[in-house]
Structure 1
Amino acid sequence: MLMTAATPPAPSTPPSTLLLLVRHGETPSTGMVLPGRTPGLHLSDRGRIQAQLVAERLAGLRVDGIYSSPLERTCETAEPTADCTGLVVNENAGLIECDFGAWTGAALAELSALPQWQTVQHTPSAFRFPDGESFAQMQARMVVTLEELRAAHPGGVVVCFSHADPTKAAVAHALGTHLDLFQRIVISPGSVSAISYVDGRAPAVLMVNSTLESLSGLRTS
C-alpha cells in the first residue's frame, strides 16, 4: 500500500481590522478660519448632506463600532451612520482636532501671511502652535488612539469621525511617510480614508480622501 505524506494545512490568514477615518462635513466657516476645538460649531446644510452620504456609502459593511471626536461637527457627522447601523456614537478625545492654541479662531488668510506659516506647511514636525499642541503630539495621539480602537475590535470594521489634520497625520504614519510631508495629503469634508490592520504586519492604506463610491467593496458583508 502506497503511503503518502499528509498535506499540511494551509496557514490561516490573520483577521484584518478595517478602520475608516471620516472627516466631518462642512461648517459655515470651513476653509475660512482655523476653528480648532472651539465649541458650538455645527454642520452647514451641505455638511449635513455629506454626513448622510457617508452613512449611505457604508451600506453593505457590517460596522462594529462608531467613534467620534467630542466636537459638535464630528458628532453630527456621525449621527446618520449611527442611525443606519443601530449603533451608538462613542465620543473619544483621542480623535479631537489639533489644539491650535493662540491661533484658534484666526482667519486662514491672516495666518498664511505669517512667517511661521511656512514652517506649518513645509516643516510641520518642527512646529508647535503657540500655547497649543505640536503636530508631532497630534500624530502620536492619533496613532495611539487608532491602535486602541483596532485592538478593541479585532477583525471588525470601525468608523472614526475626526478632522482634517489628525486624519492626514494618521494616514501619513500608516503610509510610512515623514510628518514633514503630511501636508501633501488632501482630506476633504465628508471624505473617507481606509486603513487595514493585521497583527504582525505594517498597516495597509486602502483608500484616501474618497467622497463618492460605495465602501462595501472594502470588506465582504
Structure 2
Amino acid sequence: MTETTSAPPPPPRTLLLLVRHGETPTTGMVLPGRTPGLHLSNHGRAQSERLAERLQGLAVDAIYSSPLERTRETAAPAAAVTGLAMHDDAGLLECDFGEWTGATLADLAKLPQWQTVQNSPSTFRFPGGESFPEMQARMVGALKGRCAAHPGGVVACFSHADPIKAAVAHALGTPLDHFQRIFISPGSVSVISLVEGRPPDVLMVNSTQEPLGGLRAT
C-alpha cells in the first residue's frame, strides 16, 4: 500500500487594518508632525465612533496605535467596543518632519523644496528629521512585526496619512516617488492582507463608510 502524504497547510494570512486618525483642528492647514498635545476635533471624535461601529462583526485580535494623542483617541472607541487593550507602537508614528514641524501648509507650499516633496519624495529628507525612505522602512517593518506577532489574525493599526500612504505604496509595488498619488482621509481604513514570505494583497484603500465585518484574509 502506498502511503499518501497530505499537503502542508498554507501559511496564515494576517489582515492589517491601517487606520488614519480622525480630524483635528489643524487638519489640512498645519504640518503637526509629532507635536504633542494635538487632540481630535468634535468631527474627529465622531469619526472614531463611526469607525468602532464599522468594526462590528469583525473579530479583531489586537489594536496598536501611534503614541500620539490624536491616534490614541481615534483608537479608544474601537478598543472599548472590542474589549481589547490598546498598545503603543512607535513604528506607527507620524513622519519626523524636523524643522518643518508646526509649519502651515500654505507657507511650505511656497518653498522650492515642496516640489521635491510632492514629485520626488524618495530623494528628500526633512531638515533635522526623517527621509521618506526611512519613514516607509519604519512603517513597513512595524507592520511585518504585527503580522509575525498575530499570524492569521486581524490587527488594527492606528497611524497617520504619510506612513499609511507609504505602506500602501509598498504593498502595491508602487515606487515611493508616486506615493503622493494615494489619498488617505482622516478616519479612513485601508486593508492589507499579508502572509510571511509572499507579496501582500491590498483589499481596501481609503474606506470611510462601508462596514468592515465582511473582510476576509483571502
Shared topology, TM-score over 0.5? yes
Pairwise CA distance, 1:6: 8.1
Q: Give TM-score, length-normalised by structure 1.
A: 0.95
Q: In the alignment, what sits opposite 1:27?
A: 24
Q: Unpaired segments of 5 or more residues in structure 2?
A: none
Q: Confirm or deny: 8 A CA contact 1:18 1:155 kept in the other structure.
A: yes
Q: In the alignment, what sits opposite 1:77?
A: 74
Pairwise CA distance, 1:15: 1.7
- The CA distance in 2 between the partners of 1:68 and 1:139, in whole Å, is 17
Q: Confirm or deny: 8 A CA contact 1:61 1:219 kept in the other structure.
A: no
Q: Deviations over 1:85-107 (max 9, x none)?
A: 00011001110000000100000
- The CA distance in 2 between the partners of 1:200 and 1:76, in whole Å, is 34
Alignment of 1:79-94 (within 5 A): 79-94=76-91
Q: In the alignment, what sits opposite 1:151?
A: 148
Q: Give TM-score, length-normalised by structure 2.
A: 0.96
Q: Given the alignment of the two structures, is residue 160 of structure 1 paired with residue 157 of structure 2, yes or no?
A: yes
Pairwise CA distance, 1:219: 2.4
Q: Deviations over 1:145-184 (max 9, x none)?
A: 0000110000000000000000000000011111000000
Q: Given the alignment of the two structures, is residue 46 of structure 1 paired with residue 43 of structure 2, yes or no?
A: yes
Alignment of 1:7-156 (within 5 A): 9=6, 12-156=9-153
Q: Deviations over 1:1-46 (max 9, x none)?
A: xx9x888746633321000000000000000000000000000000
- Aligned alpha-carbon RMSD (Å): 1.4
Q: Which runs of 4+ in 1 moved over 4 A?
A: 5-11
- The CA distance in 1 between the partners of 2:121 and 2:31, in whole Å, is 16
Q: Unpaired segments of 5 or more residues in structure 1?
A: none
1:197 partner amino acid? L
Q: Deviations over 1:66-103 (max 9, x none)?
A: 00000000000000000000001100111000000010
Q: Given the alignment of the two structures, is residue 192 of structure 1 paired with residue 186 of structure 2, yes or no?
A: no
- The CA distance in 2 between the partners of 1:132 and 1:201, in whole Å, is 32
- The CA distance in 1 between the partners of 2:4 and 2:208, in whole Å, is 46
Counting matched residue pairs gives 217
Higher alpha-carbon Rg = 1
